[in-house]
Amino acid sequence: MSNDVVVSLVGVSKIYKIGDQLLRALDRVDLQIQRGETLALMGPSGSGKSTLLNLIGCMDKPSEGKVLIEGKDITSLTHDELAETRALRIGMVFQFFNLISVLTAVENVEMPMVYAGIGTRKTRREKATEALDALGIADKANRLPSQLSGGERQRVAIARAIINKPAILLADEPTGNLDSQTGEMVLEALRRLSAQGQTTLIATHDPDVMAYAQRTLNIKDGRLA
């Protein structure tokens, strides 16, 4: 396997048991994502997009097959090892921002460093402030999420996702809950990160994302087209 492969899925299936029935959310998926690549993941609702993101994001384990993040098979990892992988190698941006309501913007950004035990309180604060500055919201650093607009919240979420320089940034409908103008600002931020070489996988319906993505993955009924 090439060193440039960040994510590799080999024959990955995810099967859920609902009552007596088995639901195959992903069906023998093979995928490789190269370092620095930007991919758009498209598919109708219920096609398996979120399941795929959860598996790459080390939030879940496959029922069959292997998921390798920078060459390391996550299927054999413990809960804590998975958490550590999420903190250090994965950045997640959600449709509904998912910030911690009692923490300020800068504190939210610091948390992945806290989880991973990186730096001192002072260096963490400096790094988090820099990340917010790069996204143009350093002046909102000490505000609670409830005091920020949707676009600002999503940019805080992006800053949190990239703070540990992850191997891959996963975004699940990052503009889905924003108006077009704010969505454009968020996309611009993601585009800049891609341009800087950040490997990114974006689940989206937004044609603008497809326009700048180097590759578009289409998923239907749990299978990649």
Partner 1 sequence: MREIATMAWRHTSRRQGRTTLTVLGIAIGFGAIIAILSLSFGVRRSVEATLSPIASDAIVLPVPREVYDSSSAGQGGIGQGGGLLNRLRASRIETVGIDQEIFNEIISTPGVVSHMGRSTPIPVRAIWRDREIRMTVTAIDPEGEKTLGQIVLDSGSWPGYMEGLASQILLRLRRVSVGDGITLVSDEGERYNLTISGIVGQSREARFGAPPNVPLLITFQTAALFTNDTSFSGIVLSTNGMAEAREVADAVQSGYPNLTVLTFEDFTETIERTLNQYSLFLLSIGVLAVAVAALGSANTMVVSTMERTREIGIMKATGAKNGFVLKGFLLESALLGLVGGVVGVIFGYVGSRILEYLVVRLNIGRLAGAAAGFSPYIPLWLIPFSIILAVTVTLISGSYPAWRASRLDPVEAIRYE
C-alpha to C-alpha distance for 37 and 45, rounded to whole angstroms? 24
Instruction: Decide if 49 contacts 203 (C-beta within 8 A).
Output: yes
Q: Please, what is the minimum distance in Å from the beta carbon of residue 88 to partner 1?
A: 7
Q: Does position 98 bind partner 1 by CB under 8 A?
A: yes
Residues numbered 148-207 forming contacts with partner 1, rule: CB under 8 A: 160-161, 164
Q: Does position 114 bind partner 1 by CB under 8 A?
A: yes
C-alpha to C-alpha distance for 94 and 97, rounded to whole angstroms? 5
C-alpha to C-alpha distance for 98 and 65, rounded to whole angstroms? 30
> Of residues 103, 134, 185, 210, which one binds partner 1 by CB under 8 A?
103
Ranges assigned E (strand) in the chain: 5-18, 21-34, 38-42, 64-69, 72-73, 90-93, 168-172, 200-203, 215-220, 223-224
Q: Please, what is the minimum distance in Å from the beta carbon of residue 96 to partner 1?
A: 9
C-alpha to C-alpha distance for 29 and 64, rounded to whole angstroms? 10
Q: Does position 77 bind partner 1 by CB under 8 A?
A: no
Max CA distance (Å), the chain? 53
Stretch that binds partner 1, among 25-33, 97-105, 132-140, 186-194 (CB under 8 A): 97-105
> Of residues 68, 116, 138, 210, which one binds partner 1 by CB under 8 A?
116
Q: Please, what is the minimum distance in Å from the beta carbon of residue 100 to partner 1?
A: 6
User: What backbone phi and psi angles, to 5 degrees, belong to 68?
Assistant: -115, 125
> Of residues 43, 48, 57, 222, which one binds partner 1 by CB under 8 A?
57
Which residues sit at the interface with partner 1, rule CB under 8 A? 54, 57, 59-60, 79-80, 83-84, 86-88, 90, 92, 94, 98-103, 107, 110-112, 114-116, 121, 160-161, 164
